[in-house]
Structure 1
Amino acid sequence: MMIDNPFVVNVYASPELFCDREAETAAIASALRNGRHVMLFSPRRYGKTGLIRHVFDHLAKQRGTRTVFADIYAADDAHAFNVVLLNAVHEALNPTPKLFLKNAMAWFSALRPVVQFDELSGQPSIALERGRTNKEEATTREIFRILREQKRTIFLAIDEFQQVANFPEVRMDAVLRTELQRSPNVHCIFSGSQRHILQDLFNNAAKPFYGSADQVELQRIGREVYADFACKLMKRHKRTLRKDDALFCYDWCNGHTYYVQVLFNRLFGDARALERPTIVEVMRSIIREQDAIMATLRSALTKGQWELFAAISREGEVDTPTGGAFIRKHGLSSSAALVHALQALLDRELVYVIAHRPDSGKPVYAPYNPFHGAWFKYR
C-alpha cells in the first residue's frame, strides 16, 4: 500500500505506522493463539479496528492460519449479519478466482448464494436470499460449518458486536455460542463501542457468552508515547516537529486517537515548517470547518441539550454535570432536566465517559469529538 502521508486515518497501513498498543497486541494475540476468545471494548475511534488489523498482521504470519474480519455495524438483523459474515469468509478463504471456483460447489449446495460482481473491480461478492427465522439460523450454522472444515486455525473478528443484541427474532448470541463450541479451530475477537450492551452480553450470567472471553478495554494512548511516535515519524520523512508541539497537539485533541491522528495528518500535509503559529493556524482551520456541522446539531438538539453540550465542551472534562456548582457557573436549567439532556447527548455520542475518578469512581464526561469542543471554546 503506497501512502504519501504516514499519519494514516481510516485504514491500517503497516506495523511501522501504527502507534503503540504493544501490551494490548500481546494480550489479544496470546489469548487467540491459546484458544481463548476476546471481548475488546473502547469508545468509537479509539483505534479498535486498527488494533485488530495490527494483531491479525502478526497472526497471519503463522503457518496454517486465516484471519477473517466482519464489520457488522450496518447489520440490523440476522440476514444482514449472515451476508456480512459470509462475504468476510469468502474474502479470506477465496483470495483468488481459482480458489473461489474450487470452493463454489460446496458453498452453493448448502447456502444457495447469489454471486454478484463489482462493476469497477470485477471482484465477486455474495448475496443471500432472505428467509424465515429458522433459515437464517441454519445459514449461520452453515457458515460456521465452512470455517470448521478448514484444515487451519481461523481467527475471526466481529466488529461492532453489540449489534447482535438488537436483532429481532433470532438470538444470534446463542447461535454463535453454540457454533463456537462446535468449532475448536475458530477463535474470536468480539469488539464494540457500547459498553453497557457488551458488558451485559459477556458479564450477565443469564446470557450465552457469560464468562467466555478475555476482556480488553482500550484507554487513550499515553501522551508521551504518542508525542514521541509523531516526532520520530515526522523525522523519518525529513520533517521537524518539536516534542512540546506534539504534546500540545495531543492535549488539544484530548488524546482521542482518531482526532490526534487527523491533526498530525493535516500538519504533515502542510508544506510549511511546523512551528507553533502554523500548528495553531491549522487548528483554527479545523475549527472553522465545524461551522456547518454545529449549525445542524444546534437545530437538532433542544435548548437544554445544546446548552449542556456547550458547557461540557468549554470545561473539557466534567465529573458532575448535574451538580449545583456546574449548573450555576454555566447558567443551566434544573438538575432534573439536565439528567435527561445528558442521556440524550450520550445516546447521540456527542459526549462520552472518558474515564472514572480513581478516588470516587465518578464518571468523567467529555465531548466525543474534540474538534466540537474546540469550536465552543474558540468560535
Structure 2
Amino acid sequence: METPFVFGKIATDQNFTDRRVETERLLQNFRSLTNTIIISPRRWGKSSLVIHAAKQLLMSEENVKLCMIDLFNVREEEEFYTLLAKEVLTSVSSKWEEIAVNAKNFLARLIPRISFTADVESELSFGIGLEELKRNPDDILDLAEALAVSKNIRLIICIDEFQNVANFGDSLAFQKKLRAHWQRHSHVAYCLFGSKRHMLMDVFANVSMPFYKFGDLMFLQKIETEEWIPFIRQKFQMANKVIERDEVQLLVELVDNHPYYVQQLAQQVWLRTEKLVVPSIVKEAYNGLIDQLSLLFLNSMETFSNAQLGFLKALIAGEKQLSSKQTLQAYRIGTSGNVVRIKQALMEREVIDLQGNEITFQDPLFEAWLKRDWFK
C-alpha cells in the first residue's frame, strides 16, 4: 500500500497542509501583481506553498499565466538570460509555431536559435549567442512585460534558488540590472525564493543591495502542532489506522515541527503501525530515523574544525555565554573573535540559525544525533 505522507518532493492537493494565511497572502500578491520574496530554512515547504497558491490562482483567475524557473544548475549570467527567455516564451504559449513567432518579434536583435523535437516528450531547444547577449540583454529582461502587454495577460514568474545570482561574476552589477528592469514591469509579478536563507537575507534584507525592498518579504514560520494533528490523524484513518492526539503531538514535537521531518517520521510511524499507534512506536520510529541519517551526520563531522566542534558541543550542553572565558576554555573554542567567525561559518553551512541572540540548529535530527551519539 502506498504511504500517505509526502516528503522530499512538492506537496500538492491533499498532501499540502495548513499555510492558509501564507497561501492567502501569496494569492493576494499574485492577483495584485505584487512582487514577493519567500525566506525560510531549507525543507520548510517554500516550493510547495508557491505551487499550491499558483494552482488556486489559475483555477480562479482568467488571463493569468504562470512561469516557473529553477536556477539550481545556473551558474552564469548568460545561462540565466537563456533560461529566462525560454521559460517565459513557453509559459505564454504551448504551440511551438507561436513560440517561434514571439521569439522573432520580441528578441529579433538577439537572433535566437530555436528547435523543436516533436516526439512523445516534446522539448524546445533555445539558444542565444553569447556575443549577442553581452551586447544587449535588455530585450530578454523586458520580454515578460512585452509579452504580457501584447497578449493582455498577467504573468507570474516564480524563480526558485534565486540566491544563485549572488554567485554570478560581477553579481552586484547584474542584480542592479535586474532590479532596474523588473521594477518597471506593471503586468508581471515576480516571486523569488530559494534554499539558502543566509544568502537570500543578504540579497533582499541588506539595505545596500539592489533588491532591498523589492517586494513583500514573507518569512515562513513552522506549521503549528494544532494544524498537524487533524492532517496526520486523517491520513492514518484513510488506511483504517488510529493515531490519537497525544501521539501526533509527540511525533511533531520530537522533530521540532520541522515540516519535512514531520512527514518523514509520520511515514515511519505509519509503516510500523497495524491498527493503533502507541508512544513506543513513535519513539522507535524516531530513533530509527536518526539511525538512518547517522552515516550522513557522521561524514559531516569530518568537515568541522576542532574549534567548530567545541562550539557545537557547547550548544548541545546548553551553554549561553559562548564568549565567556570559562566556556572558551572548557570547550577549546579559542578566542571570543573565533565565536563570531564560527557562528558565521555554521550559518553559511546551514548548520545553525541565528534569530536575535538565540542560536538554534536548523536540522533537529542532527541536533538529536549529536546529543544521543556524538557528545554522549
Which TM-score band applies after superposition, normalised by the shorter structure?
0.7 to 0.9
Distance 2:325 2:292 in 1: 34
- Summarize the Cα distance change of 1:83–1:343 in structure 2 as closer, same or farther, 3 Å threshold: same
The answer to whether the aligner puts 1:366 opposite 2:360 as a matched pair is yes
Find the counterpart in structure 2 of residue 158 from structure 1.
159
The answer to whether the aligner puts 1:106 opposite 2:95 as a matched pair is no
Distance 1:327 1:259 in 2: 33
- Summarize the Cα distance change of 1:129–1:72 in structure 2 as closer, same or farther, 3 Å threshold: same
State TM-score, norm by structure 1. 0.83
Find the counterpart in structure 1 of residue 263 from structure 2.
261
Give unmatched runs, 5+ long, in structure 2.
Answer: none
Does the CA-based 8 Å contact 1:148-1:186 persist in structure 2? no
The Cα offsets for residues 114-140 of structure 1, whole Å up to 9 and x where unpaired, read as 547599x62304342451433445443
Matched position secondary structure for 1:211? coil
More off after superposition, 69-78 vs 55-64: 69-78
Find the counterpart in structure 1 of residue 343 from structure 2.
342
- Summarize the Cα distance change of 1:257–1:194 in structure 2 as closer, same or farther, 3 Å threshold: same
The answer to whether the aligner puts 1:46 opposite 2:50 as a matched pair is no
1:225 to 223, 227, 236: 227
More off after superposition, 29-38 vs 102-111: 102-111
Distance 1:117 1:313 in 2: 56
Find the counterpart in structure 1 of residue 214 from structure 2.
212
Matched position secondary structure for 1:255? coil
Matched position secondary structure for 1:346? helix
State TM-score, norm by structure 2. 0.84
- Summarize the Cα distance change of 1:143–1:297 in structure 2 as closer, same or farther, 3 Å threshold: same
1:191 to 174, 190, 193: 193
Aligned Cα RMSD in Å? 3.0
The answer to whether the aligner puts 1:77 opposite 2:80 as a matched pair is no
Amino acid at match of 1:236: M
Amino acid at match of 1:375: W
The Cα offsets for residues 225-273 of structure 1, whole Å up to 9 and x where unpaired, read as 2233222332234221122221222222122222222212332344544
What are the equivalent positions in structure 2 for 1:125-140 lying under 5 Å apart? 125-129=124-128, 131-132=130-131, 133-140=134-141
2:372 to 352, 357, 378: 378
* Alignment length (residue pairs): 364
Amino acid at match of 2:100: A
Identity over aligned pairs, percent: 22
What are the equivalent positions in structure 2 for 1:216-365 lying under 5 Å apart? 216-273=218-275, 274-313=277-316, 315=318, 320-323=321-324, 327=328, 332-353=333-354, 356=355, 361-362=356-357, 364-365=358-359
Shift, 1:154, TM fit? 0.9
Matched position secondary structure for 2:223? coil
Does the CA-based 8 Å contact 1:309-1:345 persist in structure 2? no
Does the CA-based 8 Å contact 1:231-1:246 persist in structure 2? yes
Shift, 1:60, TM fit? 0.9
Distance 2:57 2:231 in 1: 24
Distance 2:327 2:268 in 1: 35
The Cα offsets for residues 348-375 of structure 1, whole Å up to 9 and x where unpaired, read as 112223xx4xxxx42x222222221121
2:175 to 157, 169, 173: 173
Matched position secondary structure for 2:38? strand
- Summarize the Cα distance change of 1:13–1:118 in structure 2 as closer, same or farther, 3 Å threshold: farther
Matched position secondary structure for 2:125? strand
- Summarize the Cα distance change of 1:331–1:302 in structure 2 as closer, same or farther, 3 Å threshold: closer
Distance 2:274 2:250 in 1: 18
The Cα offsets for residues 307-333 of structure 1, whole Å up to 9 and x where unpaired, read as 323443465xx7654445655775655
Shift, 1:53, TM fit? 0.8
Does the CA-based 8 Å contact 2:89-2:103 persist in structure 1? no
Distance 1:127 1:320 in 2: 56
Shift, 1:202, TM fit? 4.0
- Summarize the Cα distance change of 1:304–1:311 in structure 2 as closer, same or farther, 3 Å threshold: same
More off after superposition, 140-149 vs 6-15: 140-149
